[in-house]
Amino acid sequence: MRSTMPCQTVHKQTKCAYIFYMILRDLFTPTTNLKDLCHQHDFDMRVLLTIKQRRYINGRSPVLKLGNLSLAWEFTQSPSDHKHFVNMLRVSPKVFDTILCLIHDHPIFYNNSNNPQTDVQTQLAVTLYRMGRYGNGASLEDLAQDAGFSEGSIENFTEHCFTAIEGLHDTFVRQLTPQEKEVEKRWMDEHLGFVGTWREGWIMYDGTIVVLYKRPGLDGDAYYTLKANYGLNAQVSSY
Amino acid sequence: MTGSAHDARAFEHTTAAMTPEWLFEGEEFAWADSAYTVNSRTIPVHKKPASLIPENTHFDKTVAHLCVRSEHCMGALKGRFQCLRGLRVNINIKADHVAACQWITIAIILHNLIIDVEGAESAQEFLPSHSREELDDRGVAHPPLPIADDDPETKRKQLVHEIVEYQNLRQSR
């Protein structure tokens, strides 16, 4: 059965235990010699001070990390394994290299400390791995175990990559050039079999709900959707 | 936009709806499903009861065929970046909402990047992993929004007329 006592810090527990030991010791083996008593007192004080000043009393063992990201790099070796790479990182090795090439110079990946960041390749891999998962597979703990980094690092990697990729926004999310519009309009002509005002409709709108994994703490009701879940409405134009 | 917002309401706040001049020139316009409001720049399919008129039915069918492409786009997006199927972001302050939107933005940027690099075909393989839940979120009554347009229906009528004429032409051959 769990103790109903209020939770005590390890420091407090250790201190109490030591004081208890002092009481028992002095009761059963009292010191009569003044010199010994002084010595004893001095020692006790030092022990109590050490307990107070030491940050970690039990010592902390590092969390074991054994990632399997290197598997992804192995998969790039032969084209027959590329589908495993896609399954893991959601993009083909070619696209991966393209993204890497576009973002690896971003200043966010470099700090002036003596402790350089994890290489950009790994940071991007972790981010893509994270973006390809939802539910408890996307929890920081699971991700940390799969990737072989700490939970905090996973958060940092994602943040870095997001900042770098956001810088590409205007390059890839942009207005179509007249030539590109013409290509879309031609497609429409061929699809329909006649040329008319219909070809001017080169774009389509649609909305989609991006479901959230739990009810937001702020304005939760505003996120409640028709399908009895909580989500964001994203409006997408496609062509 | 939050999830309680209807498609039409959410769309009102996009750049495409607020400054259509930026996106379109000349006679250009966009297709949409019946949840949207008709005007000269947005041509949705008909709602009931207008959708029961035979000419309109034919028009709607053709447009729906076109709109499947955009449903595929969403399917590919959510199939590839499945984080969009259950976004793990805690929304407790305003900044968190922005952070949640950032996930969507990043996914869309990467999606466009992938299409630029590999072409639209590469997205196809992610379609089966996404269920067709998209298709049932329409047909909800929404009060028509006032739009400064002489007759919002003009262009749609013209388009219906064109397709019907083409159909007649084909049948007479």
ipTM: 0.74
B64 within 8 A of B135, measured Cβ to Cβ: no
Closest by CA position to B77, among listed B103, B107, B122, B121:
B107
Weakly modelled stretches of chain B, pLDDT under 70:
1-6, 8-9, 13, 15-19, 21-22, 25-26, 120-125, 127-152, 173
Q: Is B124 on the interface with A (CB under 8 A)?
A: no
Give the pLDDT of residue A1.
45
How many other β-carbons are positioned within 10 Å of the β-carbon of residue B67?
Answer: 20
Please, are residues B43 and B159 in contact by the beta-carbon 8 Å criterion?
yes
pLDDT in tens, A211-233: 777 777 666 667 666 555 566 66
Please give the radius of gyration of chain B, using alpha carbons only, rounded to the nearest integer: 18
Residue B93 confidence (pLDDT): 82
Which residues on chain B are in Cβ contact (under 8 Å) with A134? Answer: 82-88
Domain residue limits, chain A: 10-53, 70-171, 176-238
Tell me if A131 and B27 make a contact (CB, 8 A cut-off): no
Test mutation, B96, B137, B155, B173, chain A, max A CBs within 10 A: B137
A39-73: pLDDT as tens digits: 999 999 999 999 888 888 777 788 888 888 888 88
Distances (CA, A) of A228 to A78, A138, A190: 45, 22, 41
Asked if the C-beta of A212 comes within 8 angstroms of chain B's C-beta atoms, the answer is yes
Residue of B77, B139, B148 whose CA lies nearest to B109: B77
Chain A contact set for B158 (CB, 8 A): 197
- The CA distance from A166 to the nearest CA of chain B, in Å, is 6
Residue B11 with chain A: CB contacts under 8 Å: 205, 207, 235
Q: What is the pLDDT of residue A186?
A: 79
Residues in B closer than 8 angstroms to A100, CB to CB, are: none
Q: Residue written as tokens 């590409």? A: A168
C-alpha distance from A10 to closest chain B C-alpha (Å) = 31
Neighbour tally for A139: CB within 10 Å: 14
Give chain A's mean pLDDT.
83
Cβ contact (<8 Å) for A196 and B162? yes
Alpha-carbon dihedral sign for residues B75, B79, B80, B86: positive
Task: Inform me whether the pLDDT recorded for A161 exceeds 90.
Answer: yes
- Residue A128: pLDDT band with limits 50, 70, 90: very high
pLDDT score of B151: 63
Token pair listed for A26: 């002095």
Average pLDDT over residues A191-220: 74
pLDDT tens readout for residues A66-105: 888 888 888 988 888 888 898 889 888 989 999 999 998 8
How many residue pairs bridge chain A and chain B with CB atoms within 8 Å of each other?
229
Residue A158 has a pLDDT of 92
Closest CA to B38 of B166, B158, B165: B158
Identify whether the C-beta of residue B37 lies closer than 8 Å to the C-beta of residue B44. Answer: yes
Minimal-distance CA residue of chain A relative to B64:
A204
Nearest CA in chain B to A194: B166
Which residue among B43, B71, B118 places its CB closest to the CB of A206? B71
Record: contact B84-A134, CB cut-off 8 A: yes
